[in-house]
Structure 1
Protein backbone atom coordinates (compact mmCIF):
# COMPACT_ATOMS: atom_id res chain seq x y z
CA UNK A 1 0.00 0.00 0.00
CA UNK A 2 1.03 3.59 -0.61
CA UNK A 3 0.46 6.27 2.03
CA UNK A 4 0.77 10.03 1.64
CA UNK A 5 1.56 13.18 3.59
CA UNK A 6 0.87 16.51 1.90
CA UNK A 7 1.06 20.20 2.75
CA UNK A 8 1.27 23.40 0.68
CA UNK A 9 4.89 22.76 -0.30
CA UNK A 10 5.51 19.03 -0.56
CA UNK A 11 3.82 15.70 -1.22
CA UNK A 12 5.59 12.69 0.29
CA UNK A 13 4.60 9.08 -0.30
CA UNK A 14 5.50 5.89 1.54
CA UNK A 15 5.14 2.15 1.08
CA UNK A 16 4.38 -0.27 3.88
CA UNK A 17 6.97 -2.59 2.25
CA UNK A 18 10.07 -1.71 4.21
CA UNK A 19 8.35 1.45 5.54
CA UNK A 20 10.19 3.10 2.65
CA UNK A 21 9.70 6.66 1.42
CA UNK A 22 8.96 6.33 -2.31
CA UNK A 23 8.33 9.90 -3.48
CA UNK A 24 9.30 13.44 -2.43
CA UNK A 25 7.72 16.01 -4.72
CA UNK A 26 7.50 19.81 -4.90
CA UNK A 27 3.84 20.74 -5.28
CA UNK A 28 4.51 24.03 -7.04
CA UNK A 29 6.93 22.80 -9.70
CA UNK A 30 6.06 19.10 -9.80
CA UNK A 31 9.75 18.31 -9.35
CA UNK A 32 10.49 14.85 -7.94
CA UNK A 33 13.56 14.75 -5.68
CA UNK A 34 13.67 11.08 -4.69
CA UNK A 35 15.27 8.48 -6.95
CA UNK A 36 12.47 6.32 -8.34
CA UNK A 37 14.35 3.04 -8.62
CA UNK A 38 15.73 1.35 -11.73
CA UNK A 39 17.37 -2.08 -11.62
CA UNK A 40 19.92 -0.98 -14.24
CA UNK A 41 21.48 1.14 -11.49
CA UNK A 42 19.77 0.40 -8.16
CA UNK A 43 16.23 -0.81 -7.75
CA UNK A 44 15.49 0.73 -4.37
CA UNK A 45 14.58 4.28 -3.35
CA UNK A 46 15.04 4.92 0.37
CA UNK A 47 15.39 1.66 2.33
CA UNK A 48 15.79 1.44 6.10
CA UNK A 49 18.80 -0.68 7.10
CA UNK A 50 18.17 -2.92 10.13
CA UNK A 51 19.38 -4.84 12.13
CA UNK A 52 22.73 -4.38 10.38
CA UNK A 53 24.20 -1.70 8.15
CA UNK A 54 26.46 -2.95 5.39
CA UNK A 55 27.97 -6.39 4.92
CA UNK A 56 29.23 -8.84 7.54
CA UNK A 57 32.21 -11.12 7.03
CA UNK A 58 30.90 -14.13 5.09
CA UNK A 59 27.39 -12.67 5.58
CA UNK A 60 27.35 -14.15 9.07
CA UNK A 61 27.84 -13.13 12.69
CA UNK A 62 28.33 -14.90 16.00
CA UNK A 63 26.18 -14.36 19.09
CA UNK A 64 26.43 -16.52 22.23
CA UNK A 65 28.65 -19.01 20.42
CA UNK A 66 26.07 -19.55 17.68
CA UNK A 67 26.44 -18.45 14.07
CA UNK A 68 23.61 -16.65 12.28
CA UNK A 69 23.27 -15.73 8.58
CA UNK A 70 22.58 -12.08 7.78
CA UNK A 71 22.40 -10.49 4.33
CA UNK A 72 23.78 -7.05 3.55
CA UNK A 73 21.80 -4.25 5.26
CA UNK A 74 19.55 -6.70 7.11
CA UNK A 75 15.98 -7.82 6.50
CA UNK A 76 13.71 -4.91 7.51
CA UNK A 77 13.82 -3.30 4.07
CA UNK A 78 12.13 -6.39 2.56
CA UNK A 79 9.40 -6.87 5.17
CA UNK A 80 5.85 -5.56 5.34
CA UNK A 81 5.29 -3.06 8.13
CA UNK A 82 1.95 -2.20 9.68
CA UNK A 83 0.74 1.40 9.63
CA UNK A 84 0.23 2.01 13.36
CA UNK A 85 -0.67 5.72 13.34
CA UNK A 86 -1.53 8.34 10.73
CA UNK A 87 -2.44 12.04 10.83
CA UNK A 88 -2.20 15.02 8.48
CA UNK A 89 1.44 15.64 9.45
CA UNK A 90 2.76 12.28 10.61
CA UNK A 91 2.73 8.59 9.82
CA UNK A 92 4.34 5.72 11.71
CA UNK A 93 4.98 2.14 10.62
CA UNK A 94 5.81 -0.78 12.92
CA UNK A 95 7.51 -4.17 12.59
CA UNK A 96 7.72 -6.89 15.25
CA UNK A 97 9.99 -9.90 15.48
CA UNK A 98 8.61 -13.11 14.00
CA UNK A 99 9.73 -16.75 13.99
CA UNK A 100 11.24 -16.03 10.56
CA UNK A 101 13.30 -13.03 11.73
CA UNK A 102 14.53 -15.06 14.71
CA UNK A 103 16.20 -17.50 12.34
CA UNK A 104 18.60 -14.67 11.45
CA UNK A 105 18.31 -12.39 14.49
CA UNK A 106 17.37 -14.09 17.77
CA UNK A 107 15.87 -11.10 19.59
CA UNK A 108 12.36 -9.96 20.39
CA UNK A 109 12.22 -6.40 19.06
CA UNK A 110 9.89 -3.74 17.82
CA UNK A 111 11.00 -1.36 15.08
CA UNK A 112 9.02 1.81 14.40
CA UNK A 113 9.73 4.09 11.43
CA UNK A 114 8.06 7.51 11.59
CA UNK A 115 7.80 10.39 9.11
CA UNK A 116 6.72 13.94 9.93
CA UNK A 117 6.12 16.59 7.28
CA UNK A 118 6.39 20.23 8.32
CA UNK A 119 6.74 22.99 5.72
CA UNK A 120 9.66 21.96 3.46
CA UNK A 121 11.18 19.32 5.78
CA UNK A 122 10.59 15.61 6.31
CA UNK A 123 11.79 14.26 9.66
CA UNK A 124 12.56 10.55 9.66
CA UNK A 125 12.50 8.86 13.08
CA UNK A 126 13.78 5.41 14.02
CA UNK A 127 12.59 3.81 17.23
CA UNK A 128 14.01 0.44 18.28
CA UNK A 129 12.63 -1.32 21.37
CA UNK A 130 14.23 -4.32 23.07
CA UNK A 131 11.36 -6.57 24.14
CA UNK A 132 13.68 -9.13 25.70
CA UNK A 133 13.13 -9.60 29.44
CA UNK A 134 16.60 -10.70 30.46
CA UNK A 135 19.20 -9.96 27.79
CA UNK A 136 20.71 -7.06 25.94
CA UNK A 137 20.00 -6.56 22.25
CA UNK A 138 22.64 -5.55 19.71
CA UNK A 139 21.84 -3.84 16.42
CA UNK A 140 22.71 -1.22 13.83
CA UNK A 141 20.33 1.03 11.92
CA UNK A 142 20.65 3.50 9.08
CA UNK A 143 19.04 5.29 6.17
CA UNK A 144 19.79 4.88 2.47
CA UNK A 145 17.78 7.57 0.62
CA UNK A 146 18.69 8.26 -3.00
CA UNK A 147 18.16 11.73 -4.48
CA UNK A 148 17.98 12.74 -8.13
CA UNK A 149 21.20 14.29 -9.38
CA UNK A 150 20.91 15.80 -11.93
CA UNK A 151 17.37 17.08 -11.58
CA UNK A 152 16.65 18.04 -15.16
CA UNK A 153 16.81 16.15 -18.42
CA UNK A 154 19.78 17.22 -20.51
CA UNK A 155 21.93 18.12 -17.52
CA UNK A 156 25.02 16.18 -16.43
CA UNK A 157 25.85 15.14 -12.89
CA UNK A 158 29.29 16.68 -13.45
CA UNK A 159 27.56 20.09 -13.42
CA UNK A 160 26.38 19.42 -9.87
CA UNK A 161 28.23 19.51 -6.54
CA UNK A 162 27.96 18.11 -3.06
CA UNK A 163 28.47 20.29 0.01
CA UNK A 164 29.39 19.20 3.55
CA UNK A 165 29.71 21.23 6.72
CA UNK A 166 33.50 20.68 6.77
CA UNK A 167 36.38 21.71 4.52
CA UNK A 168 38.38 18.54 5.12
CA UNK A 169 37.29 15.09 6.25
CA UNK A 170 38.80 11.66 6.70
CA UNK A 171 36.94 8.95 4.83
CA UNK A 172 37.19 5.21 4.37
CA UNK A 173 36.38 2.91 1.50
CA UNK A 174 34.78 -0.51 1.16
CA UNK A 175 36.49 -3.22 -0.82
CA UNK A 176 34.23 -3.58 -3.86
CA UNK A 177 34.67 -7.36 -4.04
CA UNK A 178 34.09 -8.26 -0.39
CA UNK A 179 31.92 -5.33 0.76
CA UNK A 180 34.12 -5.00 3.86
CA UNK A 181 35.76 -1.89 5.32
CA UNK A 182 39.35 -1.27 4.33
CA UNK A 183 41.80 -0.58 7.15
CA UNK A 184 43.17 2.75 5.91
CA UNK A 185 41.65 6.24 5.66
CA UNK A 186 41.88 8.93 3.00
CA UNK A 187 41.66 12.73 3.14
CA UNK A 188 38.93 14.51 1.20
CA UNK A 189 39.53 18.24 0.73
CA UNK A 190 36.38 20.33 0.29
CA UNK A 191 37.13 23.98 -0.61
CA UNK A 192 34.34 25.96 1.07
CA UNK A 193 32.77 22.59 1.83
CA UNK A 194 32.15 21.81 -1.85
CA UNK A 195 33.09 18.90 -4.10
CA UNK A 196 32.18 18.86 -7.79
CA UNK A 197 30.67 15.54 -8.85
CA UNK A 198 33.00 15.15 -11.80
CA UNK A 199 33.21 12.04 -13.94
CA UNK A 200 34.41 9.03 -11.97
CA UNK A 201 33.93 10.53 -8.50
CA UNK A 202 32.12 7.39 -7.30
CA UNK A 203 34.07 4.80 -9.29
CA UNK A 204 35.90 3.53 -6.19
CA UNK A 205 32.74 3.20 -4.14
CA UNK A 206 31.10 4.78 -1.15
CA UNK A 207 32.68 7.56 0.94
CA UNK A 208 32.29 6.72 4.63
CA UNK A 209 32.87 9.47 7.21
CA UNK A 210 33.09 8.33 10.84
CA UNK A 211 33.38 9.97 14.27
CA UNK A 212 30.60 12.57 13.81
CA UNK A 213 32.77 14.53 11.35
CA UNK A 214 29.85 15.53 9.14
CA UNK A 215 26.35 16.50 10.28
CA UNK A 216 24.90 18.15 7.18
CA UNK A 217 25.15 17.37 3.45
CA UNK A 218 23.58 19.31 0.57
CA UNK A 219 23.25 18.71 -3.15
CA UNK A 220 23.98 21.80 -5.28
CA UNK A 221 22.60 22.55 -8.74
CA UNK A 222 24.72 23.92 -11.63
CA UNK A 223 24.33 27.44 -10.18
CA UNK A 224 25.90 26.18 -6.93
CA UNK A 225 22.58 26.60 -5.12
CA UNK A 226 21.47 23.92 -2.66
CA UNK A 227 18.30 22.14 -3.70
CA UNK A 228 18.20 19.43 -1.02
CA UNK A 229 19.83 19.06 2.40
CA UNK A 230 20.08 16.09 4.76
CA UNK A 231 20.79 16.97 8.43
CA UNK A 232 21.65 14.36 11.05
CA UNK A 233 23.58 13.68 14.27
CA UNK A 234 24.71 10.19 13.44
CA UNK A 235 28.27 8.95 14.08
CA UNK A 236 28.65 7.90 10.44
CA UNK A 237 27.44 8.98 7.04
CA UNK A 238 27.91 7.35 3.66
CA UNK A 239 27.83 9.15 0.30
CA UNK A 240 27.25 6.75 -2.60
CA UNK A 241 26.24 6.31 -6.19
CA UNK A 242 26.70 3.00 -8.07
CA UNK A 243 30.28 2.42 -9.14
CA UNK A 244 31.09 3.07 -12.82
CA UNK A 245 27.42 3.27 -13.85
CA UNK A 246 26.97 7.04 -14.28
CA UNK A 247 23.76 6.73 -12.27
CA UNK A 248 21.59 9.88 -12.09
CA UNK A 249 21.28 9.95 -8.31
CA UNK A 250 23.30 10.29 -5.11
CA UNK A 251 22.56 8.58 -1.79
CA UNK A 252 23.16 10.47 1.46
CA UNK A 253 23.09 7.84 4.21
CA UNK A 254 23.04 8.61 7.96
CA UNK A 255 24.11 5.54 9.91
CA UNK A 256 24.34 4.15 13.43
CA UNK A 257 26.63 1.31 12.40
CA UNK A 258 28.43 0.03 9.32
CA UNK A 259 29.91 -3.04 7.64
CA UNK A 260 32.59 -5.19 9.25
CA UNK A 261 36.21 -4.21 8.89
CA UNK A 262 38.33 -6.61 6.82
CA UNK A 263 40.25 -7.82 9.88
CA UNK A 264 37.27 -8.06 12.26
CA UNK A 265 37.18 -11.32 14.23
CA UNK A 266 34.75 -10.55 17.03
CA UNK A 267 31.08 -11.26 17.61
CA UNK A 268 27.85 -9.25 17.54
CA UNK A 269 28.58 -7.67 20.92
CA UNK A 270 31.78 -5.95 19.81
CA UNK A 271 31.09 -4.86 16.24
CA UNK A 272 32.41 -1.34 15.64
CA UNK A 273 29.73 1.36 15.92
CA UNK A 274 27.14 -1.19 17.03
CA UNK A 275 24.38 -0.27 19.48
CA UNK A 276 23.16 -2.04 22.61
CA UNK A 277 19.80 -1.88 24.38
CA UNK A 278 19.19 -3.23 27.88
CA UNK A 279 16.03 -5.32 28.40
CA UNK A 280 13.07 -3.04 27.81
CA UNK A 281 15.36 -0.30 26.50
CA UNK A 282 14.40 2.17 23.76
CA UNK A 283 16.63 3.74 21.10
CA UNK A 284 15.10 6.73 19.30
CA UNK A 285 16.89 8.93 16.77
CA UNK A 286 15.94 11.05 13.76
CA UNK A 287 17.27 12.93 10.75
CA UNK A 288 15.83 15.57 8.44
CA UNK A 289 15.47 15.97 4.66
CA UNK A 290 14.85 19.56 3.55
CA UNK A 291 13.87 20.68 0.05
CA UNK A 292 15.61 24.01 -0.50
CA UNK A 293 13.85 25.13 -3.69
Structure 2
Protein backbone atom coordinates (compact mmCIF):
# COMPACT_ATOMS: atom_id res chain seq x y z
CA UNK A 1 0.00 0.00 0.00
CA UNK A 2 1.22 3.52 -0.76
CA UNK A 3 0.21 7.09 0.08
CA UNK A 4 0.90 10.07 -2.19
CA UNK A 5 1.06 13.60 -0.81
CA UNK A 6 1.29 16.76 -2.91
CA UNK A 7 1.22 20.53 -2.97
CA UNK A 8 1.46 23.11 -5.74
CA UNK A 9 5.09 22.22 -6.47
CA UNK A 10 5.86 18.61 -5.54
CA UNK A 11 4.39 15.15 -5.12
CA UNK A 12 5.85 12.40 -2.94
CA UNK A 13 4.83 8.76 -2.71
CA UNK A 14 5.54 6.66 0.37
CA UNK A 15 5.31 2.88 0.58
CA UNK A 16 3.77 1.72 3.86
CA UNK A 17 6.26 -1.16 3.87
CA UNK A 18 9.24 0.36 5.60
CA UNK A 19 7.61 3.83 5.43
CA UNK A 20 9.90 4.20 2.43
CA UNK A 21 9.92 7.22 0.13
CA UNK A 22 9.68 5.77 -3.38
CA UNK A 23 8.95 8.84 -5.51
CA UNK A 24 9.57 12.59 -5.48
CA UNK A 25 8.62 14.69 -8.48
CA UNK A 26 7.80 18.23 -9.47
CA UNK A 27 4.13 18.68 -10.27
CA UNK A 28 3.46 18.23 -14.01
CA UNK A 29 6.94 16.80 -14.56
CA UNK A 30 8.03 13.27 -15.39
CA UNK A 31 11.49 13.78 -13.86
CA UNK A 32 11.93 11.42 -10.92
CA UNK A 33 14.38 12.39 -8.19
CA UNK A 34 14.30 9.11 -6.23
CA UNK A 35 16.08 6.01 -7.51
CA UNK A 36 13.70 3.54 -9.19
CA UNK A 37 14.89 0.54 -7.18
CA UNK A 38 16.10 -1.58 -10.10
CA UNK A 39 17.30 -4.80 -8.40
CA UNK A 40 20.05 -5.24 -10.99
CA UNK A 41 21.89 -2.59 -8.98
CA UNK A 42 19.97 -2.13 -5.71
CA UNK A 43 16.33 -2.92 -5.03
CA UNK A 44 15.65 -0.19 -2.47
CA UNK A 45 14.69 3.49 -2.81
CA UNK A 46 15.08 5.18 0.57
CA UNK A 47 15.07 2.67 3.43
CA UNK A 48 14.89 3.69 7.08
CA UNK A 49 17.69 2.29 9.24
CA UNK A 50 16.46 1.30 12.71
CA UNK A 51 17.19 0.20 15.42
CA UNK A 52 20.78 0.04 14.20
CA UNK A 53 22.76 1.68 11.43
CA UNK A 54 25.26 -0.47 9.57
CA UNK A 55 26.52 -3.86 10.68
CA UNK A 56 26.97 -5.47 14.09
CA UNK A 57 29.93 -7.74 14.70
CA UNK A 58 28.69 -11.26 13.90
CA UNK A 59 25.25 -9.64 13.35
CA UNK A 60 24.68 -9.85 17.09
CA UNK A 61 24.82 -7.92 20.36
CA UNK A 62 24.23 -8.51 24.06
CA UNK A 63 21.81 -6.82 26.45
CA UNK A 64 21.75 -7.75 30.13
CA UNK A 65 24.07 -10.63 29.24
CA UNK A 66 21.54 -12.08 26.78
CA UNK A 67 22.46 -12.48 23.10
CA UNK A 68 20.32 -11.04 20.28
CA UNK A 69 20.63 -11.10 16.52
CA UNK A 70 20.11 -8.12 14.21
CA UNK A 71 20.95 -8.02 10.52
CA UNK A 72 22.50 -5.04 8.74
CA UNK A 73 20.57 -1.77 9.22
CA UNK A 74 17.92 -3.41 11.44
CA UNK A 75 14.35 -4.47 10.71
CA UNK A 76 12.26 -1.30 10.23
CA UNK A 77 12.88 -1.15 6.48
CA UNK A 78 11.25 -4.57 6.02
CA UNK A 79 8.18 -4.11 8.21
CA UNK A 80 4.70 -2.77 7.51
CA UNK A 81 3.95 0.60 9.09
CA UNK A 82 0.47 1.74 10.06
CA UNK A 83 -1.01 4.89 8.55
CA UNK A 84 -2.14 7.05 11.48
CA UNK A 85 -2.71 10.43 9.83
CA UNK A 86 -2.71 12.02 6.39
CA UNK A 87 -3.67 15.23 4.61
CA UNK A 88 -2.89 16.40 1.09
CA UNK A 89 0.65 17.45 2.00
CA UNK A 90 1.41 15.42 5.14
CA UNK A 91 1.47 11.77 6.21
CA UNK A 92 2.41 10.01 9.47
CA UNK A 93 3.28 6.33 9.55
CA UNK A 94 3.98 4.31 12.69
CA UNK A 95 5.74 1.09 13.67
CA UNK A 96 5.28 -0.26 17.19
CA UNK A 97 7.15 -3.04 18.96
CA UNK A 98 5.56 -6.48 18.83
CA UNK A 99 6.42 -10.12 19.42
CA UNK A 100 8.46 -10.26 16.21
CA UNK A 101 10.57 -7.19 16.96
CA UNK A 102 11.15 -8.20 20.59
CA UNK A 103 12.88 -11.39 19.49
CA UNK A 104 15.60 -9.19 18.01
CA UNK A 105 15.23 -5.96 20.00
CA UNK A 106 13.71 -6.45 23.50
CA UNK A 107 12.29 -2.96 23.94
CA UNK A 108 8.87 -1.32 23.81
CA UNK A 109 9.00 1.47 21.26
CA UNK A 110 7.09 3.42 18.67
CA UNK A 111 8.81 4.74 15.54
CA UNK A 112 6.93 7.48 13.72
CA UNK A 113 7.92 8.70 10.27
CA UNK A 114 6.43 12.04 9.23
CA UNK A 115 6.61 13.33 5.66
CA UNK A 116 5.55 16.93 5.01
CA UNK A 117 5.68 18.98 1.81
CA UNK A 118 6.34 22.72 2.14
CA UNK A 119 6.66 24.56 -1.18
CA UNK A 120 9.62 22.87 -2.96
CA UNK A 121 10.84 21.05 0.17
CA UNK A 122 10.07 17.58 1.50
CA UNK A 123 10.66 17.44 5.25
CA UNK A 124 11.31 14.01 6.75
CA UNK A 125 10.95 13.63 10.52
CA UNK A 126 11.91 10.51 12.51
CA UNK A 127 10.36 10.30 15.97
CA UNK A 128 11.58 7.55 18.31
CA UNK A 129 9.50 6.94 21.46
CA UNK A 130 10.59 4.72 24.36
CA UNK A 131 7.41 3.15 25.76
CA UNK A 132 9.18 0.76 28.10
CA UNK A 133 10.56 1.04 31.62
CA UNK A 134 14.25 0.61 30.75
CA UNK A 135 16.69 2.87 28.94
CA UNK A 136 16.47 2.02 25.24
CA UNK A 137 19.60 1.99 23.06
CA UNK A 138 19.12 2.72 19.37
CA UNK A 139 20.54 4.19 16.20
CA UNK A 140 18.59 5.58 13.29
CA UNK A 141 19.36 6.82 9.82
CA UNK A 142 18.13 7.62 6.35
CA UNK A 143 19.31 6.04 3.11
CA UNK A 144 17.70 8.02 0.25
CA UNK A 145 19.01 7.19 -3.21
CA UNK A 146 18.78 9.98 -5.77
CA UNK A 147 18.42 9.17 -9.45
CA UNK A 148 21.17 10.46 -11.74
CA UNK A 149 19.99 10.73 -15.34
CA UNK A 150 23.24 11.95 -16.86
CA UNK A 151 26.68 10.35 -16.92
CA UNK A 152 27.83 9.75 -13.34
CA UNK A 153 31.00 11.82 -13.75
CA UNK A 154 28.97 14.92 -14.70
CA UNK A 155 27.75 15.11 -11.08
CA UNK A 156 29.40 16.48 -7.97
CA UNK A 157 28.51 17.11 -4.33
CA UNK A 158 28.77 20.68 -3.05
CA UNK A 159 29.43 20.80 0.69
CA UNK A 160 28.26 23.64 2.89
CA UNK A 161 31.69 24.31 4.41
CA UNK A 162 35.24 23.93 3.16
CA UNK A 163 36.74 20.79 4.69
CA UNK A 164 38.66 17.67 3.96
CA UNK A 165 36.64 14.51 4.39
CA UNK A 166 37.96 11.93 6.86
CA UNK A 167 36.50 8.63 5.69
CA UNK A 168 36.61 5.59 7.96
CA UNK A 169 37.50 2.35 6.24
CA UNK A 170 35.49 -0.86 6.52
CA UNK A 171 36.97 -4.26 7.31
CA UNK A 172 34.51 -7.15 7.03
CA UNK A 173 31.72 -4.52 7.14
CA UNK A 174 33.00 -3.17 10.47
CA UNK A 175 34.79 0.14 11.09
CA UNK A 176 38.54 -0.21 11.32
CA UNK A 177 40.98 2.37 12.64
CA UNK A 178 42.11 3.11 9.10
CA UNK A 179 41.02 6.37 7.50
CA UNK A 180 41.57 8.11 4.20
CA UNK A 181 41.48 11.80 3.47
CA UNK A 182 39.56 13.25 0.54
CA UNK A 183 40.32 16.85 -0.28
CA UNK A 184 37.45 18.95 -1.55
CA UNK A 185 38.04 21.45 -4.34
CA UNK A 186 36.16 24.69 -3.64
CA UNK A 187 33.94 22.71 -1.23
CA UNK A 188 33.06 20.29 -4.04
CA UNK A 189 33.51 16.53 -4.44
CA UNK A 190 33.42 15.38 -8.08
CA UNK A 191 31.71 12.00 -8.29
CA UNK A 192 33.60 9.03 -9.72
CA UNK A 193 32.89 5.34 -9.21
CA UNK A 194 36.46 4.85 -7.98
CA UNK A 195 35.46 6.64 -4.76
CA UNK A 196 33.24 3.66 -3.89
CA UNK A 197 35.48 0.74 -4.81
CA UNK A 198 35.72 -0.13 -1.10
CA UNK A 199 32.03 0.53 -0.34
CA UNK A 200 30.61 3.70 1.23
CA UNK A 201 32.34 6.86 2.33
CA UNK A 202 31.72 6.77 6.08
CA UNK A 203 32.03 10.05 7.95
CA UNK A 204 31.82 9.93 11.74
CA UNK A 205 31.95 13.70 11.84
CA UNK A 206 31.00 16.24 9.21
CA UNK A 207 31.04 20.02 9.60
CA UNK A 208 28.61 20.54 6.74
CA UNK A 209 24.91 20.17 7.46
CA UNK A 210 23.84 20.70 3.86
CA UNK A 211 25.00 19.07 0.63
CA UNK A 212 23.93 19.97 -2.89
CA UNK A 213 23.77 17.56 -5.80
CA UNK A 214 25.23 19.39 -8.79
CA UNK A 215 24.52 18.28 -12.36
CA UNK A 216 26.77 19.66 -15.11
CA UNK A 217 27.71 22.53 -12.82
CA UNK A 218 24.10 23.38 -11.90
CA UNK A 219 22.70 22.60 -8.41
CA UNK A 220 19.54 20.49 -8.69
CA UNK A 221 18.86 19.49 -5.07
CA UNK A 222 19.63 20.64 -1.52
CA UNK A 223 19.93 17.99 1.19
CA UNK A 224 19.86 19.36 4.76
CA UNK A 225 20.49 17.18 7.86
CA UNK A 226 21.15 19.32 10.95
CA UNK A 227 20.10 16.64 13.49
CA UNK A 228 22.47 13.93 12.26
CA UNK A 229 26.11 13.84 13.46
CA UNK A 230 27.25 11.02 11.15
CA UNK A 231 26.95 10.56 7.40
CA UNK A 232 27.41 8.05 4.62
CA UNK A 233 27.74 8.49 0.85
CA UNK A 234 27.31 5.43 -1.33
CA UNK A 235 26.54 3.97 -4.73
CA UNK A 236 27.02 0.69 -6.54
CA UNK A 237 29.68 0.64 -9.25
CA UNK A 238 28.09 1.68 -12.58
CA UNK A 239 24.71 2.38 -10.93
CA UNK A 240 22.89 5.64 -11.86
CA UNK A 241 22.20 6.87 -8.33
CA UNK A 242 23.89 8.41 -5.32
CA UNK A 243 22.85 7.82 -1.70
CA UNK A 244 23.13 10.63 0.83
CA UNK A 245 22.73 8.99 4.22
CA UNK A 246 22.22 10.98 7.43
CA UNK A 247 22.97 8.77 10.41
CA UNK A 248 22.82 8.76 14.18
CA UNK A 249 25.24 5.88 14.74
CA UNK A 250 27.21 3.58 12.46
CA UNK A 251 28.60 0.04 12.17
CA UNK A 252 30.38 -1.67 15.03
CA UNK A 253 34.08 -1.01 15.41
CA UNK A 254 36.37 -4.02 15.12
CA UNK A 255 37.17 -4.18 18.84
CA UNK A 256 33.58 -3.85 20.10
CA UNK A 257 32.65 -5.82 23.21
CA UNK A 258 29.15 -6.44 21.82
CA UNK A 259 27.28 -4.74 24.69
CA UNK A 260 24.62 -2.63 22.94
CA UNK A 261 24.61 -0.08 25.79
CA UNK A 262 28.31 0.57 25.17
CA UNK A 263 28.23 0.53 21.37
CA UNK A 264 30.09 3.45 19.81
CA UNK A 265 27.66 6.03 18.45
CA UNK A 266 24.59 4.54 20.18
CA UNK A 267 21.74 6.73 21.51
CA UNK A 268 20.28 6.03 24.96
CA UNK A 269 16.65 7.04 25.39
CA UNK A 270 15.05 7.28 28.84
CA UNK A 271 11.71 5.62 29.62
CA UNK A 272 8.69 7.55 28.30
CA UNK A 273 10.88 10.01 26.43
CA UNK A 274 11.20 10.62 22.70
CA UNK A 275 13.80 11.99 20.30
CA UNK A 276 13.31 13.56 16.88
CA UNK A 277 15.63 13.75 13.91
CA UNK A 278 14.81 15.71 10.76
CA UNK A 279 16.24 16.06 7.30
CA UNK A 280 14.91 17.78 4.19
CA UNK A 281 15.13 17.51 0.43
CA UNK A 282 14.72 20.73 -1.55
CA UNK A 283 14.22 20.50 -5.31
CA UNK A 284 15.85 23.46 -7.03
| TM bin (shorter chain) | over 0.9
Give matches, 1:57-76, under 5 Å: 57-76=57-76
Instruction: Please identify, of 25-34 and 118-127, the stretch whose mean Cα deviation from structure 2 is larger.
Output: 25-34
Q: TM-score, normalised by structure 1?
A: 0.93
In the alignment, does 2:188 pair up with 1:194?
yes
Contact 2:19–2:48 (Cα < 8 Å) also in 1:
yes
Q: TM-score, normalised by structure 2?
A: 0.96
The answer for the alignment partner of 1:157 in structure 2 is: 152
CA distance in 2, matches of 1:49, 1:199: 24
Gaps of 5+ in 2: none
Question: What SS does the aligned partner of 2:196 have?
Answer: coil
Aligned structure 1 segments of 4 or more residues deviating by more than 4 angstroms: none
CA distance in 2, matches of 1:199, 1:180: 21
Give matches, 1:203-214, under 5 Å: 203-214=197-208
Contact 2:57–2:258 (Cα < 8 Å) also in 1:
no
The answer for the alignment partner of 1:218 in structure 2 is: 212
The answer for the alignment partner of 1:103 in structure 2 is: 103
Contact 2:60–2:258 (Cα < 8 Å) also in 1:
no
In the alignment, does 2:167 pair up with 1:174?
no
Contact 2:234–2:242 (Cα < 8 Å) also in 1:
yes
Instruction: Please identify, of 164-173 and 57-66, the stretch whose mean Cα deviation from structure 2 is larger.
Output: 164-173
Alignment equivalent of 1:183, drawn from 173, 177, 184: 177
Contact 2:210–2:225 (Cα < 8 Å) also in 1:
yes
Cα shift at 1:248: 0.3
Structure 1, residues 218-244: CA drift from partner, whole Å, max 9, x if none?
Answer: 11101x1111121012110100002xx
Contact 2:49–2:140 (Cα < 8 Å) also in 1:
yes
Contact 1:51–1:74 (Cα < 8 Å) also in 2:
yes
Cα shift at 1:252: 0.1
Contact 1:214–1:237 (Cα < 8 Å) also in 2:
no
The answer for the alignment partner of 1:246 in structure 2 is: 238
CA distance in 2, matches of 1:38, 1:209: 27
In the alignment, does 2:221 pair up with 1:228?
yes
CA distance in 2, matches of 1:162, 1:201: 13
Q: CA RMSD in A?
A: 1.2
CA distance in 2, matches of 1:214, 1:205: 22
Cα shift at 1:212: 4.0
CA distance in 2, matches of 1:228, 1:273: 29
The answer for the alignment partner of 1:267 in structure 2 is: 259
Give matches, 1:121-136, under 5 Å: 121-133=121-133, 135-136=134-135
